[in-house]
Structure 1
Amino acid sequence: MCPHQPACPSALSADREAAHPVAHHPEQGWSLLCNGVLLFEDTGELLPDGSIIAPHRPLGTGSVIAAA
């Protein structure tokens, strides 16, 4: 149960990454969020039920130069 007010998003919520970190280990590349989600620095996730969310880094926003 999340003690934060307002409560953190659940592990099944689309905004689950907004939950508060309860353990942060940047040297190992992961954080444990209040909702039980393990968030990895490559943006992959491990949900409390064992489900895996593949890394989902945003695509680059740089301009694309077309070949002439």
Structure 2
Amino acid sequence: MCSHQPPCPTADSPDHPCAVIVSAHPEQGWSLLCNGTIVFDDTGELLPDGRVVSPHRSLGAPALAA
């Protein structure tokens, strides 16, 4: 799908979320990447083959003991 140079990572690559956004819908909370991946604001993903990647956002830095 990608016509960028250098080409974006494929949906099977570990760095697939780095692909270029081709359609953004922030009001609905999702964006379509040029590799066919749909990424959601909660960090979940839907891959072109139908696989689901669960949200994986960080809960923040752990508190340090004083």
The alignment's TM-score, normalised by the length of structure 1, stands at: 0.89
In our comparison, the structure showing a higher alpha carbon Rg is 1
Please, what is the CA RMSD of the aligned residues?
Answer: 1.4
The 5-angstrom pairing of residues 1-68 of structure 1 reads 1-65=1-65
Give the number of equivalent residue pairs.
Answer: 66
**Contiguous gaps of at least 5 residues in structure 2:** none
**Contiguous gaps of at least 5 residues in structure 1:** none
Any runs of at least 4 consecutive aligned residues in structure 1 with deviations exceeding 2 A, and if so which? 62-66
Question: 1:61 offset after TM fit, Å?
Answer: 1.4
The alignment's TM-score, normalised by the length of structure 2, stands at: 0.91
% identity of equivalent residues: 61
Counterpart amino acid of 2:54?
A
